[in-house]
A and B are shown apart, each in its own frame.
Chain A
Amino acid sequence: MILSISWRNIWRNKVRSLVIIFSIAIGIFAGVFSAAFFKGMADQRIQKVINTELSYIQIHQPDYRQNSDFGNFIPDGSALTAKIRQLPHVTGVSQRILIQSMLASAETASGVLIAGIDPAIESTVTNLNTKIIEGAYFDGIKRNPIVIGKKLAEKLNVKVRSKVVITLQDLDNNITSGAFRVAGIYSTDNNLFDESRVFIRSSALIKLTAFPATAAHEIAINIDASENLSLVESQVKEIAGDKEVMNWKALSPEMNYLTEAMGIYMYVFIIIILLALLFGIINTMLMVVMERRKELGMLMAVGMNKRRIFTMIVLESILLSITGGIVGIVIGALTAKYGETHPVDLSMWAQGYQQLGYDAFVYTSVDPVMLVNVSIMVMITGVIAALYPAYKALKNDPADALRME
């Protein structure tokens, strides 16, 4: 009955209650929508990095990542790759041979990291093939094609079909070199990557270095959806035995930090909104308590103890907040849900963003956990807002309150 009294009490002063409910709703809507917007932005950025550079999971020989020793390879790479390919949710597995080398053009030379890949298979893991801005992805050059980044092409002053020479140390530490022709020039959002990473066929690299045909330094795995990451990761770990299995979060802590930082900022933002709303609710609840002094006195006289009076006031405040909160969350979530398929167009301001690797079109991303957390935070705000007014109500002396003026 106390719950129902509290709920009905809200509607005694409809205008005042609606004003506060709508302020809460607007505040929460703003919070929920911006959270979804910025999360969408961060997710898109991360997705791009996963798709072009990182892939979801990588396998290396232990210690390989520390010293990148060419001899420290996974001997049974092909067998492992084949097994992983069988796993559910896995959409692509690419086996890579990696080696530091010098890449020289007619004019100058630059240190690069060569990735020996199977072009068709690599396309099932990363989207390098879609990042080609000049020439073609391993097409158009018969012998020894190489795909390099735009930044590097500028540095070496080479074009499509230009000849470049790779110089490297093979497994026996002999210096060897091979001539390649630029088949395609790619461009990602990451200049450093574009400048240092080049791709050739793994068969060419094997020939050049006498590398075991089934071995690999790196196995990159693509999956169907990010929510399956931990599932696939644990299965891969089982298969991979003593090899080092890392997901993108571990491979690129700064990208992981981006999501986490974004999440924290959003909560700070929402807390600031709630703090502003808090004072509005306190004010409303204080008015409520003042107005109902006599009624509260009567209730205390006839048997409502302090705990019940307190509960009644706190419930009224919670219901007020939660009603506004739910309206805000629902509208915010629906708008953000719409934004998941209908992106926000930032192209007017996007030039700066694009240089930082963000898209001009932002698809919002709603985090259900955040919606639950915001609901809880709204409820807590309601409780906090009620504390002082409820304390005032308890100070009420029934004999005093009921004396007729």
Chain B
Amino acid sequence: MKVIEIRNLKKTYNTGEVKVKAVNGISIDFEEGEFAAIVGPSGSGKTTFLNMLGGLDRPTSGEVVIGGANVWELSSRKLIDFRMNNIGFVFQAYNLIPVLTAGENVEFIMQLQGMPKKERGMRTKELLEAVGLADRINSRPGKLSGGQQQRVAVARALASRPKFILADEPTANLDSKATTSLLEMMAEMNKKYNTTFIFATHDQRVMDKARRIVSIEDGRILSDERFER
């Protein structure tokens, strides 16, 4: 089943005199349960592309269709709710609210969704357990390592039961050990909940784990390969 359909997506930034074609005509589909990496050199348009998929950055032209709806035809108010209910985000940093504990960070998004308290509590426990941080439920992010913080971010992203998770350079700030274990955990979550993961990365270790690698350069797709892993 297709989770995302992207049709001729373009984004041009106007910086003074110069026009930057950050994304220059990308068409691609993502299936349910994929574990895909968007790779490419710096400035190739990965972040721009991901932000357009995630409803954060408005395309200059083209369509992003998620669950039959063209995301960019939604009103900006509806778009926020759409993001909350359909897309999970893991950023490179600043993922968590520093004044909330790990558990509260995970629970918060479910509260925004209006999930009943009891269910929220159970799901928070379950997710933190799944990412291996059940014992840190009451720790604030400042007391967690970078890798642990990213794990909480993944749990938070999963909490809203999204159709897919977008992760922009999730391992960029992590050492090799933390990267490996975070990736393993995400692969496990991907299997366990059949949630689609889409990464933007230049991290070789992420590419090694990905079952699909989409290379882009100058805002266009160079290659799109699938692997059995």
Looking at the complex, which of B32-40, B88-96, B220-228 is the stretch in contact with chain A?
Answer: B88-96
Task: For chain A, give the interface size range.
Answer: 20 to 34
Q: Is the CB of B47 within 8 A of A302?
A: no
The answer to whether the Cβ of A253 comes within 8 Å of any Cβ in the partner chain is no
User: Which B residues touch A305, using CB under 8 A?
Assistant: 77, 80-81
The answer to whether the Cβ of B109 comes within 8 Å of any Cβ in the partner chain is yes
The answer to whether the Cβ of B160 comes within 8 Å of any Cβ in the partner chain is yes
The answer to whether the Cβ of B56 comes within 8 Å of any Cβ in the partner chain is yes
Docked pose: A299 CA to B56 CA in angstroms: 12
Q: Is the CB of A299 within 8 A of B89?
A: no
Q: Is the CB of A8 within 8 A of B99?
A: yes
The answer to whether the Cβ of A348 comes within 8 Å of any Cβ in the partner chain is no
Q: Is the CB of A12 within 8 A of B112?
A: no
User: Which B residues touch A11, using CB under 8 A?
Assistant: 99
Q: Is the CB of B57 within 8 A of A9?
A: no
User: Which B residues touch A299, using CB under 8 A?
Assistant: 97
The answer to whether the Cβ of A295 comes within 8 Å of any Cβ in the partner chain is yes
Say yes or no: A303-B113 contact (C-beta < 8 A), given A1-B108, A5-B100, A8-B99.
Answer: yes
Docked pose: A402 CA to B83 CA in angstroms: 16
Say yes or no: A12-B81 contact (C-beta < 8 A), given A301-B89, A303-B113.
Answer: no
The answer to whether the Cβ of A272 comes within 8 Å of any Cβ in the partner chain is no
The answer to whether the Cβ of A398 comes within 8 Å of any Cβ in the partner chain is yes
Docked pose: A140 CA to B41 CA in angstroms: 114
Interface of A is mostly: helix
The answer to whether the Cβ of B54 comes within 8 Å of any Cβ in the partner chain is yes
User: Which A residues touch B160, using CB under 8 A?
Assistant: 303
The answer to whether the Cβ of A344 comes within 8 Å of any Cβ in the partner chain is no
User: Which A residues touch B108, using CB under 8 A?
Assistant: 1
Docked pose: A303 CA to B112 CA in angstroms: 7
CB-nearest residue of chain B to A304? B112
Interface 1/0 per residue, B108-133 and A, CB below 8 Å: 11011100000000000000000000
Which among A295, A297, A301, A302 has the greatest number of chain B C-beta atoms within 10 A? A302
Interface 1/0 per residue, A387-404 and B, CB below 8 Å: 000000000001100111
The answer to whether the Cβ of A300 comes within 8 Å of any Cβ in the partner chain is yes
The answer to whether the Cβ of A294 comes within 8 Å of any Cβ in the partner chain is yes
Pick the contact of A303: B47, B51, B83, B91 (CB < 8 A).
B83
Interface 1/0 per residue, A296-327 and B, CB below 8 Å: 01111111111010000000000000000000
The answer to whether the Cβ of B98 comes within 8 Å of any Cβ in the partner chain is yes
The answer to whether the Cβ of B104 comes within 8 Å of any Cβ in the partner chain is yes
User: Which B residues touch A12, using CB under 8 A?
Assistant: 98-99
CB-nearest residue of chain B to A400? B57
User: Which B residues touch A1, using CB under 8 A?
Assistant: 100, 104, 107-108, 111
Considering only CB atoms and an 8 Å cut-off, how many residues of chain B contact the other chain?
Answer: 33
Q: Is the CB of A404 within 8 A of B92?
A: yes
CB distance from A13 to the nearest CB of B (A): 11
Which among B80, B98, B108 has the greatest number of chain A C-beta atoms within 10 A? B80
Q: Is the CB of A301 within 8 A of B54?
A: yes
Which among A9, A12, A304 has the greatest number of chain B C-beta atoms within 10 A? A304
User: Which B residues touch A5, using CB under 8 A?
Assistant: 97, 99-100
Docked pose: A404 CA to B47 CA in angstroms: 10
Residues 59-104 of B contacting A (Cβ, < 8 Å): 77, 80-81, 83-85, 89, 91-95, 97-100, 104
Docked pose: A27 CA to B113 CA in angstroms: 41
The answer to whether the Cβ of B156 comes within 8 Å of any Cβ in the partner chain is yes
Say yes or no: A303-B80 contact (C-beta < 8 A), given A398-B56, A399-B57.
Answer: yes
Say yes or no: A302-B89 contact (C-beta < 8 A), given A1-B104, A1-B108, A294-B94.
Answer: yes
Q: Is the CB of A295 within 8 A of B98?
A: yes
CB distance from A295 to the nearest CB of B (A): 6
Q: Is the CB of A302 within 8 A of B98?
A: no
Residues 164-220 of B contacting A (Cβ, < 8 Å): 168-169, 172
User: Which A residues touch B83, using CB under 8 A?
Assistant: 301-303
Docked pose: A402 CA to B47 CA in angstroms: 10
User: Which A residues touch B168, using CB under 8 A?
Assistant: 402
CB distance from B163 to the nearest CB of A (A): 14
CB distance from A211 to the nearest CB of B (A): 82
Docked pose: A308 CA to B108 CA in angstroms: 12
CB-nearest residue of chain A to B108? A1
Interface 1/0 per residue, A266-300 and B, CB below 8 Å: 00000000000000000000000000001101111
User: Which B residues touch A306, using CB under 8 A?
Assistant: 77, 80
Given A300-B80, A304-B80, 11 more pairs with CB closer than 8 A = A1-B107, A1-B108, A298-B94, A301-B56, A301-B89, A302-B89, A302-B156, A303-B109, A303-B113, A305-B80, A404-B92
A-B contact list, 24 entries, CB within 8 Å:
A1-B100, A1-B108, A1-B111, A5-B99, A8-B100, A12-B98, A12-B99, A294-B93, A294-B94, A295-B94, A295-B97, A298-B89, A298-B91, A298-B94, A303-B80, A303-B113, A304-B80, A399-B51, A399-B57, A402-B91, A402-B94, A402-B168, A403-B47, A404-B169
Q: Which residues of B contact A (CB under 8 A)?
A: 47, 51, 54, 56-57, 77, 80-81, 83-85, 89, 91-95, 97-100, 104, 107-109, 111-113, 156, 160, 168-169, 172
